[in-house]
């Protein structure tokens, strides 16, 4: 009896074969549905079925690391491998094995395309169907349209994930998985394709870029050309989307991030492309399509129509960019729509109801600036709120009729989260009620450092934030907004928005939050609410006249420099 042979190690694992209910397992010398390998010669393997006590020749060809194809003999009595293999005829059935849980590969063609298709009852030409590019280059989104005059055509959306591609002679093959709401098993998911790229000299090319034929089942049987299959498609390159540029004042700094560092915004490709990614790795690609007329006659505020792609979903959205300071910007993002002309209409972009995404540049690029209200202040009416009216407002927005739940692009601060995680409050103080932000008694601004605000407290715990560095500020509708960085070992990278207004000649009302929330009323709502009463300058009035004069000159110099920053 012959010894034992082993299959290539790279073949080991679970494979799907059409018509076989359980996965086909290749492990060491065993092919689960055929038995144990006794000997081999190149791609020919002598298998013994120990239950039936018979032998067969199996010829296996590796088409791709994720695709094996084989032919085999019936089970015979013991004979030499060449003798058994000679029994395989040219018209023997070809079986395909597709690797389960395979690593996807880059699709051989990339959208966007328009296409027509034929399922054997005529070509569905109008309305035209579309193939959109996904964020991952291993996926394509196929949107089929139903033609009223073509039997069997239907309106449906399928996501194709490419798993393998190879060439046999002049024929190119593709294997992928189809995902749509009708799919229930691997028999429905796996499909084989033959495709060909046309050339300008091809006969009857008529602007065609690719011809594609699809199998009707989870095999590659019967596919020999790109013009014959269960479904054939003719692909034409879609007209390119017109591109514009994002404002130079924001795109010149390549990397921005939100105050809580949960999302980053990066500009690429000569300021025409923006990539937004969050901490979980979800990424959205945004391309500038059209510049709308700015509301003010300068470039500090611009409204753009943009095209977004996130996963396999794509569409158009309106984005409004605001320049708040040299290293601080804000964005409002509207609802998604399939038509660019609708993106900035009131139905999809209502500026008064949309929250703002506050962005800052990287710390290496972001300078500090003098804080407002230099001096010493007493703190009163301090409240640390566990909830605010804004969360109620957010819940109301969930009922917005213009929000399409099929898409993850939201018209709120975080375009990635369906659960509004960006608005969950982050508690910034120690859980001990005797030692938290409510123990603050006074505030010193710009006395030790012009760019620093320092809260005085009797607590010594490292979890409580007592100092903030100032970076930029602006005024809007009577409310001032100040961007700060916490000076704390446990909160070093966190940024906060201080919102304040003068409520009386000697009292300033403050509120803080992890983003600049327009629905917060300073001194009324917010994460931390308090009032400030001016207690005096950094140097007491009874100090020497010379020292007081020097300090006043320093304050005047810093004030002038700050005014230059504002009006630069």
Cis peptide before 30 (omega within 30 of 0): no
The pTM of the full predicted model, rounded to 2 decimals, is 0.70
Q: Please answer whether residues 238 and 128 qualify as being in contact, where contact means their C-beta atoms are separated by less than 8 angstroms.
A: no
What is the tens place of the pLDDT at every residue in 207-234?
789 999 999 999 999 899 999 999 999 9
Identify the residue whose tokens are 């794509």.
Answer: 314
Rg of the chain, C-alpha, whole Å:
33
Q: Please answer whether residues 53 and 65 qualify as being in contact, where contact means their C-beta atoms are separated by less than 8 angstroms.
A: no
Nearest CA to 368 out of 446, 451, 475 is that of: 451
Q: State residue 504's pLDDT score.
A: 81
Three-class secondary structure of residue 421 per DSSP? helix
Calpha distance 182→36 (Å, rounded): 38
Q: Judging by DSSP bridges, how do beta strands 375-384 and 442-445 pair with one another? A: antiparallel
Q: Please answer whether residues 395 and 387 qualify as being in contact, where contact means their C-beta atoms are separated by less than 8 angstroms.
A: no
Which residues have C-beta within 8 Å of that of residue 120, sequence separation ≥ 6?
A: 152, 230
Calpha distance 45→41 (Å, rounded): 7
What sections of 328-430 are H helices per DSSP?
Answer: 389-397
Q: Please answer whether residues 59 and 44 qualify as being in contact, where contact means their C-beta atoms are separated by less than 8 angstroms.
A: yes
pLDDT tens string, the chain, 568 residues long: the values are 457 899 999 999 999 999 999 999 999 999 998 999 999 999 999 999 988 889 999 999 999 999 999 999 999 998 999 999 999 988 899 999 999 999 999 999 988 899 999 999 999 999 999 998 888 899 999 999 999 999 989 899 999 999 999 999 999 999 999 998 888 899 999 999 999 998 766 555 677 899 999 999 999 998 999 999 999 999 999 888 778 889 888 888 889 999 988 899 999 877 788 999 988 888 899 999 999 876 555 678 999 999 998 888 888 999 999 999 888 999 999 999 988 999 999 999 998 889 999 999 876 667 888 998 899 999 988 887 654 333 333 333 333 332 233 333 333 334 444 333 333 333 333 344 455 556 788 899 999 899 999 988 766 665 567 889 998 899 999 999 999 988 876 655 678 999 999 888 788 999 988 889 998 999 888 888 999 998 888 875 444 444 344 444 444 444 444 434 444 4
- Mean per-residue pLDDT of the chain: 82
Quote the DSSP letter at residue 337: B
Calpha distance 522→503 (Å, rounded): 9
Q: Please answer whether residues 331 and 151 qualify as being in contact, where contact means their C-beta atoms are separated by less than 8 angstroms.
A: no
- The maximal CA–CA distance of the chain, rounded, in angstroms, is 115
β-strand partners of 329: 323, 359
Q: Judging by DSSP bridges, how do beta strands 255-258 and 231-237 pair with one another? A: unpaired
What is the tens place of the pLDDT at every residue in 411-420?
333 444 433 3
**For the chain, what percentages of helix, strand and coil (3-state, to nearest 5) are there?**
10, 40, 50
């Amino acid at each position: 009896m012959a010894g034992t042979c082993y299959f290539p190690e790279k073949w080991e694992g679970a494979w799907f074969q059409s018509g076989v209910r359980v996965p086909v397992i290749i492990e060491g010398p065993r092919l689960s549905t055929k038995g144990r390998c006794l000997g081999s010669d190149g791609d020919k393997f002598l298998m013994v079925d120990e239950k039936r006590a018979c032998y067969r020749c199996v010829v296996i060809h590796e088409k791709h690391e994720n695709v094996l194809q084989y032919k085999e003999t019936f089970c015979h009595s013991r004979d030499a491998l060449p003798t058994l293999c000679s029994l395989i005829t040219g018209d023997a059935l070809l079986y395909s094995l597709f690797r389960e849980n395979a690593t996807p590969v880059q699709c051989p063609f990339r959208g966007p395309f328009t296409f027509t298709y034929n399922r054997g009852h005529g070509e569905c030409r109008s309305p035209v169907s579309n193939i959109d590019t996904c964020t991952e280059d291993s996926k394509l989104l196929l949107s089929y349209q139903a033609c009223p005059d073509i039997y069997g055509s239907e309106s449906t959306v399928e996501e194709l994930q490419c798993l393998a591609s190879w060439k046999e002679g002049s024929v190119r093959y593709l294997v992928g998985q189809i995902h749509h709401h009708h799919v229930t098993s691997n028999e429905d998911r796996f499909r084989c394709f033959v495709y060909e790229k046309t050339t300008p000299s091809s006969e009857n090319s008529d602007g065609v870029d690719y011809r594609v034929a699809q199998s009707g089942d989870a095999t590659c049987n019967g596919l020999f050309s790109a013009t014959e299959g269960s479904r054939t498609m003719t692909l034409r390159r879609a007209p390119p989307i017109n591109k514009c540029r994002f404002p130079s004042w924001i795109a010149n700094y390549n990397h921005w991030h939100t105050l809580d560092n949960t999302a980053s915004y990066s500009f690429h490709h000569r300021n025409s492309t923006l990539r937004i990614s969050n901490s979980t790795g979800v990424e959205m690609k945004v391309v500038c399509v059209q510049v709308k007329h700015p509301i003010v006659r300068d470039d500090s505020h611009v409204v753009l129509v943009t095209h977004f792609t996130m996963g396999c979903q794509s569409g158009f959205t309106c984005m409004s960019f605001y320049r708040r300071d040299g290293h601080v910007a804000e964005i409002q993002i509207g609802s998604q729509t399939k038509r660019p002309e609708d993106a900035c209409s009131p139905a999809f972009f209502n500026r008064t109801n949309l929250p703002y995404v506050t962005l800052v540049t990287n710390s290496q690029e972001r300078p500090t600036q003098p804080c407002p209200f230099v001096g010493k202040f007493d703190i009163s009416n301090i409240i640390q709120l566990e909830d605010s009216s804004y969360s109620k407002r957010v819940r109301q927005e969930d009922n917005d009729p213009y929000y399409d739940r099929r898409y993850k692009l939201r018209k709120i601060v975080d375009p990635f989260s369906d659960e509004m995680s960006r608005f969950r409050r982050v508690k910034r103080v120690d859980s001990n009620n005797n030692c938290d932000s409510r123990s603050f008694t006074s505030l010193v601004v710009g006395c030790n450092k012009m760019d620093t605000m320092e809260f005085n407290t009797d607590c010594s715990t490292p979890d409580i934030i007592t100092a903030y560095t100032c970076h930029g500020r602006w005024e809007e509708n009577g409310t001032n907004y100040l961007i700060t960085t916490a000076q704390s070992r446990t909160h070093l990278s966190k940024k906060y928005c201080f919102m304040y207004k003068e409520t009386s000649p000697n009292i300033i009302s403050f509120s803080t939050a992890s983003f600049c929330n327009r629905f917060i009323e300073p001194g009324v709502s917010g994460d931390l609410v308090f009032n400030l009463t001016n207690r005096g300058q950094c140097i007491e009035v009874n100090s020497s006249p010379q020292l007081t004069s020097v300090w006043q000159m320093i304050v005047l110099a810093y004030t002038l420099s700050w005014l230059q920053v504002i009006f630069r």
